Amino acid sequence: MKLFDDDMDDVFHALSAPVRRKILDALREAPGSTVGAVSACFPISRMAVQKHLARLERANLVLSERVGRERRLYVNVVPLEAIAQRWMDRCTRRTASGLLDLKRTAEADHMEEQDEARTA
């Protein structure tokens, strides 16, 4: 699937808001959540969450499925993968992935050291 520049603009615009990225994180952790369940995770109104979800759906980052009266929400990673493929070749992705793993490990080790220092 090839995303056109307009589609990528929509994705970048949708990802520009921290609350929308947090909504995607919430849906990644709990796929199939309802709007109400997602709204309960944020200190903003349900209407505000619905507006953010609508923006994410326009960018094709969130897919919804009707189940009875409920609307189940899921993250669609295809647009993100298309963006990654546009700017990264396989070799670069492996290197970047390895660097991210190293960063996470170093940060986790640092946090453990801080916890040990506090308890000592």
35: domain CATH number? Answer: 1.10.10.10
Whether 103 shows a pLDDT value over 90: the answer reads: no
Which of 32-36, 109-113, 116-120 reaches the highest mean pLDDT? Answer: 32-36
Tell me the residue range of the domain where 47 lies. Answer: 5-79
Any domain includes 84: no
Distance from C-alpha of 97 to C-alpha of 84, rounded to nearest angstrom: 12
pTM: 0.72
The amino acid present at 92, given as its one-letter code, is T
| Residues 69, 33 within the same domain | yes
Instruction: Write out the two tokens for 119.
Output: 């308890």
The enclosing H or E element of 66 equals strand 62-67
pLDDT of residue 1: 45
Distance from C-alpha of 53 to C-alpha of 42, rounded to nearest angstrom: 13
Any domain includes 101: yes
What per-residue string of b and e applies to 30-39 under the rule 16 or more CB within 10 Å gives b?
eeebbbeebb
Asked if 58 and 97 touch (Cβ cutoff 8 Å), the reply is no
Number of domains in the chain: 2
pLDDT band at 107 (very low <50, low <70, confident <90, very high): confident
pLDDT tens column, 34-74: 999 999 999 999 999 999 999 999 999 999 999 999 999 99
| Residues 52, 94 within the same domain | no
| Residues 50, 109 within the same domain | no
Any domain includes 46: yes
| Residues 57, 110 within the same domain | no
